[in-house]
Structure 1
Amino acid sequence: MSTESVSQRSFLGLEGQHVFITGAAGAIGSEAIREFLDHGCRVTAYDNSPVQLSGIDAERFSRLQILDGDITEECSIQSGFVKAEERFGPATILIVNSTDEETTRQQPIWDLPLEDWEKSYKLNVRGSFLAIKHFLRRVREYQQTLGSKLASPSIVVMETETHAGLAAGKAGLHYGLLQTVRNEILQLNTEGRINAVAPNKNINTSDPTAGPRAVAPMMAFLASKRASGHISGQCIQVEGQQPSGNTQVSKLDANRTQIQSIPRGLGKPKRNKIRVAVSIDLDAVSGWLGTNAHSDNGLADYSAGFFAAHVGVPRLLRMLKKLNIAHRCTWFIPGHSAESFPAEVKQVVDSGCEIGLHGYAHEGAYQLTPEQERDVLTRCMDIAHTLTGKKPVGYRAPLYQLRESTLDLLEEFGFEYDASLTDNDCHPFFAPRRPLSNQSISPSQLPAGCIPSRNPSLRPIDFLPHTANSQGYVDVRVIEHMWRDRFLWIRDNEEEPVFPVLMHPDTSGMAHIIGMLERMLRWLKEWECEGEVEFLQTGEVARWWREKQLGNATQ
């Protein structure tokens, strides 16, 4: 799709939303899939018939999952929502397209076979009921688990009048269930909405794809809180398409809404800007040589370091590029990793990220004399300069073990920031010094990450044989919910905070963990779409904060 068309559609604000579409194999379902993918959504296509799509590029295909299931069977639709969440997180938009297109044909009621009537009734009424029921159940369960409301859950029901049986089946939905859900959904979420779309039975019959092409944009419009957050409990009839491609909407009856044009979304009040700093420590084998050195370390331990470089790094890079934030990250790379795995480190540098120092063999400051510490720092500065052609300005101490001599060296060599300490969990600070250092040259301190008790928050789902609090078999959702809870509290209670996200390829690159990280980062990007989050390199955060502090000092 062209850049122009993307910009025309972007005002709906659907980017990053998870859309669950039933009846995905039909013409209407297929057009709905394309429509929501074009809006930047993640789409789960659900049907018991093969979903066949052509012309979907790799980027869009990465945001699509296809699930086989029967909407009329409760256990099937229930498990469908669970499977959908495992990859994309909770669905926020449900498209109920339960039309049986094989039986959608013009017939007078006296010629309508009973089996067609019963099939249509089962699919339309029972199927729609089950889809809506279990979508709302998942909303309720997710909100209870997370402790906060899901952002603007929306249901759009496809209604058809091209078949007597279907029309009769939908009558109960429109006049009963639609109005009931409109009121009951507010008990779960005050932003929840339900609406229906009905294509005109005379819509451009010379082109069988005209109806689906006209209906899909209206589905997206009704799903968008920004565009139609004031509309709920309504059924909107789509008349057709003009040569310009704009969808016409007309009044259907007293209970159906007339829209002359799609209104502009109302501007939202500005909220806190949360600066998200994603950083990755590429320890690889060096982690087993310095702070994690042990006489019992063996080849199996070092093998985890090779996994970090050969598997974890490429996986993380692919994931970060898919989310378009690879260039907004900072990688802290030990000198040993840079020299041992040049191909993988080159991939990191080529991503456009920031490169910071992280010791040579992951040695802690207290393992070195001050002279050794100076030698290690200068050697690592040379390695980083060779890699990037630039002088490094950021530092993170291996296992966060730095001391006063470390801070003196960072100041002497002109480093802009260090990201090792946790005096604050969401605001930068200057390291405590006695006597106080000149703050105009002293490195800023960025919170090291989501670190309870000075240990990485991924430690419970990692396993290090000689680390007491290393477990390895904790459900990744425990960590995910902890991060989300921290973000939501910071969002509501802190002014201009920083939200650091720290990863290690040996852990974060594992198959069962990287999916959770992608869900978490996608969730943060949803806040970015709302204007509340900005992804920045750690150095960019440090410079923003320093300028702010020095500016306040001169006032």
Structure 2
Amino acid sequence: MTFDLSPRPLNPAPATPKMIWPNGAKSALFIGFDVDAETAWIGNNPSNVDRMVTTSHGGYDARVGIAKILELMAELGLKGTFFTPGWTALAHPAQCEAMVAGGHEIGHHGYLHKLPDRTKRDEAFEEIDRGFDALKSALGIRPVGYRAPSGENFPELLAYLKKVGIRYSSSFRDDILPYRHAGPDGAVGPVEIPVNFAFDDWNFGMSSRTSSRPLFGRDPVLQLWKDEFEATHAWGGVTTLVLHPQVSGRPMRWHILRDFLKHVIDKGDVWIATGAEITDHYETLEAASAR
């Protein structure tokens, strides 16, 4: 495969139209959970399927994590978006049905949490199709939002997502406001609700024997999240969370998340919304700006 390294913006998406958040809010919070379960450990390394201790990290989702996260969201009266691999929905239907029963949005997160690879386009498209089929079979849902497994994407995949009905993505790291993707040929793509890597709990709360790294305690994580949120709030952006029940569903980290969410709620001028709600709002503003 030949790589085009010519100087150009590698993401050709145009700038965001003037962003006004609903109800006089100064910024927005998007609470996104990646319900990877065991797929986080077997999707890109299938040999782990026979390593039961390794996969037990992901097994925590179904045994404890999902229920505790749903308990927290109900306590605070919040709705989130649960990006769920199709395999997870088929393997743990009762836990995933509880997410739907709680009134939360279900997003697409591949089928087996495989890293999208431009050199394997057919496999990447199959992951999308199988994910849709599994979520429909297990939960009766066809999602409109997508978060890339392992956080990667490429132009043909973005175009395919738009073609099959995905209205928004939440994977890119290049803005603090939503924007509309554009293909190299100018084709209209999905809306992007960008991610801030500082809000990915995996970076601070997950380690294993095969990918060991330090774990961070309550004070540094909570202060980082508060500081980053406060700065994003001051700039009028969207704070997008990338949370995992197998991380933030752990006892101490559950309390970090609870305290952070209470801090945001106490501001009183933050619009807390699902990905679909943010996309609806963005598209309304987009249509108005085009008139």
1:67-216 equivalences under 5 Å are none
Residues 284-311 of structure 1: per-residue CA shift (max 9 Å, x gap): 1011112355679822111111112211
Cα distance in 2 for residues equivalent to 1:353 and 1:540: 11
Question: Relative to 1, partners in 2 of residues 1:436 and 1:466: Cα closer, same or farther, differing over 3 Å?
Answer: farther
Alpha-carbon distance, 1:369 to partner: 2.2
* Separation of aligned partners in 1, 2:262 and 2:74: 12
Instruction: Give the gaps of 5 or more residues in structure 1.
Output: 1-269
Shift of 1:551: 1.5
2:184: which partner in 1? 434
* 2:5 aligned partner: none
- Give the distance between the partners of 2:208 and 2:117, measured in 1 at CA: 21
Which of the numbers 33, 44, 49 marks the counterpart of 1:291?
A: 44
Secondary structure, aligned partner of 1:361: coil
Provide the rounded CA distance (Å) in 1 between the counterparts of 2:76 and 2:93: 25
2:233 partner letter: R
2:164 counterpart letter in structure 1: F
Paired residue type of 2:287? L
Query: Does structure 2 conserve the Cα–Cα contact (< 8 Å) formed by 1:458 and 1:479?
Result: no
Equivalent residue of 1:539, what SS? helix
**Counterpart of 2:98 in structure 1: which amino acid?**
Q
Structure 1 residues 344 and 295 mapped into 2: Cα distance closer, same or farther (>3 Å)?
closer
Deviation at 1:337, TM superposition (A): 0.6
- Structure 1-normalised TM-score? 0.46
Which residue in the other structure is 2:197 paired with?
451
**Secondary structure, counterpart of 1:431 in structure 2:** strand
Q: Contact conserved, 2:28 with 2:238, CA < 8 A, in 1?
A: yes
TM-score, normalisation: structure 2 = 0.85
Q: Which runs of 4+ in 1 moved over 6 A?
A: 294-297
CA distance in 2, matches of 1:317, 1:295: 28
Q: Is the 8 A contact 1:291 1:398 kept in 2?
A: no
Please say if residues 381 and 392 of structure 1, whose CA atoms lie closer than 8 Å, have aligned partners that are also in contact.
yes
Give 1:544 shift. 0.8
In the other structure, the counterpart of 1:484 is: 226
Q: Any residues of structure 2 matched to 1:249-264 within 5 Å, and which? A: none
Alpha-carbon spacing, 1:296–1:393, altered in 2? closer, same or farther (3 Å): closer
Counterpart mapping for 1:498-513 below 5 A: 498-513=238-253
Partner residue of 2:107?
356
Report if the CA contact (8 A) 1:461-1:476 is conserved: no
Q: Match of 2:271, as an amino acid?
A: E
Q: Is the 8 A contact 1:447 1:500 kept in 2?
A: yes
Query: Following the alignment from structure 2 to structure 1, what is the Cα–Cα distance between the partners of residues 174 and 142?
Result: 27
Query: Who wins on radius of gyration, i.e. which is larger?
Result: 1
How far 1:520 moved relative to its partner? Answer: 0.7
Deviates more, 1:396-405 or 1:375-384: 375-384
Give the alignment partner of residue 271 of structure 2, picking from 524, 534, 539.
534
Instruction: Give 1:508 deviation, angstroms.
Output: 0.6
- Offset of residue 464 of structure 1: 3.4
Q: Does 1:305 align with 2:58?
A: yes
Could you say which structure has the greater relative contact order, defined with CA pairs below 8 angstroms and 6 or more residues apart? 2
Flag the 1:433–1:349 CA change in 2: closer, same or farther, 3 A. same
CA distance in 1, matches of 2:170, 2:86: 17
Which residue matches 1:414?
Answer: 165
- Is the alpha carbon distance of 1:292 and 1:324 closer, same or farther for their aligned partners in structure 2, counting shifts above 3 Å? farther
Q: For residues 311 and 368 of structure 1, do their structure 2 counterparts lie closer, same or farther at Cα, with a shift above 3 Å needed?
A: farther
- Distance (whole Å) between structure 2 residues aligned to residue 520 and residue 410 of structure 1: 32
Distance, in Å, in 2 between the alignment partners of 1:271 and 1:548 is: 15
Provide the aligned C-alpha RMSD in A: 2.2
C-alpha separation between the residues in 2 aligned to 1:522 and 1:272? 16
